[in-house]
Each structure stands twice: as C-alpha cells, then as structure tokens.
Amino acid sequence: MIHIRPAGAADGLAIAQIRAESWRIAYVDVLPAQMLAELTDSAAVAREAEWRSAHLMDGVLIAEAVGDSGADPETGLIGFAAFGPERAEDDEPGWPGPQPPEHGRAELYAIYVAPGHWSMGAGKALMDGVLALVASVGYTDISLWVMEANERGRRFYEQAGFRVTGESAVLGRLAGVTQIRYRRLVG
C-alpha cells in the first residue's frame, strides 16, 4: 500500500538518496558518466540532504510504502514530488509550496521514485496528490520541465495528461542537455 504525506525536515536524507538513485538509472544515457557520478555521489547526496533538511518542505510530498520490505528500512520512503509556483526556464526551484497563485500556474519541480518501485503506482499516487493540492489553492494549470531524452519520464507525464508546449531550453550546467516544457489543466 502507498501512503502520500507532506514531507518534513527529517525526510531530507531519504529524498536526496531517492533522487540520486533515480538519476543513476534514468539519466545513464542522457548525462555524461563523470557528471552523473559527481551529481549522485555520497557528497552530493549529503549536500542535498543538508539543504533540504534546512528548508521548508511545504511543497514536497512523500510516498511511503506501508508494509513493503523494499522501501527505505528506516523511513519507508519510496518517492517524492516537489511543486510550487511556475518558474522561468532558468530559475532554480525555491520549494515555496502550494501558495495562492499569482498567475494561475503551478509547476511540478521534481518527481522521483526509487527505481525498485517504478511502475508500481507510487508515481501516479504522488502526481494525484500534487494535482489535488495545486487545485485546492486555486491554480488553473501546471507545467513541468523534463529532459528531452528522458523517454520514460515523458511517457509518464503524457499518461498523466501533460502535453508538450513547444518550449525548450538548453541546460548549460548539465552538459547542454535540452529540456522541454509540458503543461496540463489542473481540473
């Protein structure tokens, strides 16, 4: 069974570990090997965990596998999603959480599930949780950026009702990888 709940400061390390695990598999053919190794090594995980634990987690949901032996043994965490107001393509997410919309658009900043739990419902449960929360505070639509070469992620978003907008941006800090924007109505 999958349980969705708001994240707390104590979840920072598990979130960082899930993101790193996911990146190691999902982006193996997308990012240069050396860069991927540096972005997911223990030092990177520790930095991200410290950052997350020190910041508000208002815009972060957690997926827990209740009674699942494959989940993180200490926390049960198997995935997370982060969202908030829509950013420009080159802005870093600020994780401000579900605030009243200034312009009606929310953004899914990240959604990651531990690879051992892919295609088992955790991603859908997280997406449903995000969509319900952004609708509850009045957002009319939600967007996301995804690496163009991330075919698995793109299929997931399309199955969730997102459509390509035609917008793209090159991520200079990630070896010039192209990201594309998707959008869907919330309701």
Any idea what the CATH number is for the domain that residue 67 is in?
A: 3.40.630.30
Predicted TM-score (pTM) of the model is 0.87
Is residue 168 situated within a structural domain? no
- Pairing mode, if any, of strands 105-113 and 163-171? unpaired
> What pLDDT is attached to residue 153?
95
Is residue 106 situated within a structural domain? yes
Is residue 173 situated within a structural domain? no
Is residue 44 situated within a structural domain? yes
Is residue 6 situated within a structural domain? yes
Is residue 157 situated within a structural domain? no
Average pLDDT, the chain: 88
What is the domain extent for residue 89?
2-140
Is residue 177 situated within a structural domain? no
Question: In angstroms, how far is the first alpha carbon of the chain from the final one?
Answer: 26
> What pLDDT is attached to residue 156?
97
> Of 63-67, 78-82, 97-101, 136-140, where does mean pLDDT reach its minimum?
97-101
What is the mean pLDDT of the segment spanning 75-84? 89
Measured CA distances, 85 to 79, 104, 113, 121 (Å):
21, 8, 22, 25
Is residue 147 situated within a structural domain? no
Domain count for the chain? 1
What is the mean pLDDT of the segment spanning 63-88? 78
> What pLDDT is attached to residue 96?
47
